[in-house]
Structure 1
């Protein structure tokens, strides 16, 4: 686990989804020219929600003794579920610009997990989203 001291800008597939009322974005980042999407980039898009909320959700939904790697796997599972199943998906873009702001948390998996080697979380911005797309959603559940 490490912190992210620099912002990161990219252009890739983006999934926008709601979880417990908060809207999140999930993007793919490539560490080299192979462009295999080895990094999942996930963060909140709802105004005034900060990235630690994602980790708090994972903590409250996961095992009490879960370490950061297991929590990161839970986070990645939620984004993968939204991408694959469409559960709570608000939008899906094949090619969209995004920016992960400085700060946040990075986790490297010991082995590839859900086709990713890393999870980078932080405050995320996705190009050209409407206020309706990022607005807080009603939710039956809270985490």
Structure 2
């Protein structure tokens, strides 16, 4: 499902590289319980738009994967970076971020990687340097 609503917040943010592109992974709370039920993932590298993330998922997933399965792949990569430090650039315990309007939102049928939904779009994160968000050399293309 596409979304015309942008969103800004302050939460834990993980910044990681995948296939040469730098992405941000934040959490968003839908209510006062603050359980981080929404995963926010988007590219931070200048010139890269959010559909590239879904192209990566389609390329790396199975050919008949559903949108929900592709969203799970995206969330798995972000969670891998957060938990394992794979291709980690930096982590913030509490940082401001902004998700631009026009991304994609997927609601999971059951909680997946501790999230009920994944929202993707073009993302900005406060306090990052141009070097941190610059595209990285990679052996793999997706």
Category of TM-score, reference length = shorter chain:
over 0.9
Alignment-derived partner of residue 105 in structure 1: 104
Report the Cα offset of residue 39 of structure 1: 0.1
How far apart, CA to CA, are the structure 1 residues paired with 2:139 and 2:84? 20
Task: Give the 5 Å matches for 1:1-143.
Answer: 2-143=1-142
- Structure 1 gaps of 5+ residues are none
Q: What root-mean-square deviation, in Å, do the aligned CA atoms of Structure 1 and Structure 2 show? A: 0.4
1:59-94, Cα deviation, whole Å (9 max, x unpaired): 000000001000000000000000000000000000
How far apart, CA to CA, are the structure 2 residues paired with 1:6 and 1:69? 20
Instruction: Please give the TM-score of this superposition, normalised by the length of structure 2.
Output: 0.99
Instruction: Please give the TM-score of this superposition, normalised by the length of structure 1.
Output: 0.99
How far apart, CA to CA, are the structure 1 residues paired with 2:6 and 2:71? 20
- Structure 2 gaps of 5+ residues are none
What secondary structure does 2:138 align onto? Answer: coil
